[in-house]
Amino acid sequence: MKLPQAIAAYFEADRRSDNDALIASFAPDAVVFDEGAKHKGHAEILSWLLASKAKYANLVSEPVDQTIDGDRVVVRSRVSGDFPNSPAMLDYTFTLAGDWITSLEIH
């Protein structure tokens, strides 16, 4: 499966636990929606990322499918780690603008 460049960079950086590279895949004013909360801009997204890694140890996300509709890409991913009912299938809904992720919703 060939993911768009920004999304591939996001998952690769996540796999390597490279927080700087992961944040670099987002536009400066990007928004992340996860677990009922909104995180806007690089500083808030980094805080969300670090909190998620602390809350869910050994988190691994493996993309298995994608649906592309214009600038929106839904990536179905197998997520495993130290949390109840692991592994789980989650949808990552990305909105792209050029080579940037402008929004991400995880559900």
Domains in the chain, start-ordered, CATH in brackets? 5-106 (3.10.450.50)
Q: Quick check: 85 and 75 in contact, CB under 8 A?
A: no
Q: What is the mean pLDDT of the chain?
A: 96
> What share of the chain in percent tops pLDDT 70?
100
Report pLDDT digits (tens) over 24-64: 999 999 999 999 999 999 999 999 999 998 998 899 999 99
Distance CA 49, CA 24 (A): 13
Burial class (CB in 10 A: 0-12, 13-18, 19+), 52: middle
Q: What is the DSSP string of 14-30?
A: HHHT-HHHHHHTEEEEE
Neighbours of 30 (CB within 10 A): 22
